[in-house]
Structure 1
């Protein structure tokens, strides 16, 4: 199971296994607060795609989902990052996916979780 959560709300003392999935470190968040969290930049949207989405988030999210899924598929670095996340999942069961986005359910994390679940079924 993959849980989606804001990085700012994450409690390192919770014992949850977590992965930060933002290309940039969350503003104002100390590295100490996310101690033990794996940072997988390679499994995040490209800078160009991120900027494109932010121009019109509401109207572009479906297209963004398709384009981001394609980026994940086409990038060897992204595929390796996805494998590392799946390995964490196999080892620990639940993994929390973290982002600085205000609404993780309507961010790249929801697309990423869907990709992890779909491909995860055949990756074992």
Structure 2
């Protein structure tokens, strides 16, 4: 299984199974144009953490650590991988403009680490 990530506003192309990993629906995106297979809010940072971070690059390191802690405490991540292991490609979709400081980047790395540890 290959895990990719991209902004939901980009056109779908060889994305495989498309998963929106934001807690909030992307502004200006209709459900018809989103072309998602799943909206998994449980993979997104908690509302409290998301609001605290507020896309502030100065908080990136702390945010990353706190988000990883949330992921580690959640069964949702392992359940997501197990449920979707049959897909050759999974694309994590997000709305943030800043790709460098986006939670999907942390999630992708975390999923890849779990996938390797569990040999999926």
Once residues 41 and 117 of structure 2 are traced to their aligned partners in structure 1, the CA distance between those partners, rounded to angstroms, is 24
Q: What SS class does the counterpart of residue 29 from structure 1 fall into?
A: coil
Runs of 4+ aligned residues of structure 1 deviating over 6 Å after TM superposition are none
**Gap regions ≥5 residues in structure 2:** none
Once residues 72 and 52 of structure 1 are traced to their aligned partners in structure 2, the CA distance between those partners, rounded to angstroms, is 17
1:71-115 deviation line (CA, Å, top 9, x unaligned): 01112334423444xx2xx42322211101012342001100110
Q: Normalization by structure 2: what TM-score?
A: 0.85
- Equivalenced residue count is 117
Once residues 115 and 36 of structure 1 are traced to their aligned partners in structure 2, the CA distance between those partners, rounded to angstroms, is 21
Change in 2 beyond 3 A, CA 1:3/1:77 = closer
Higher helix share: 1
Is 1:96 matched with 2:91? yes
Q: Normalization by structure 1: what TM-score?
A: 0.82
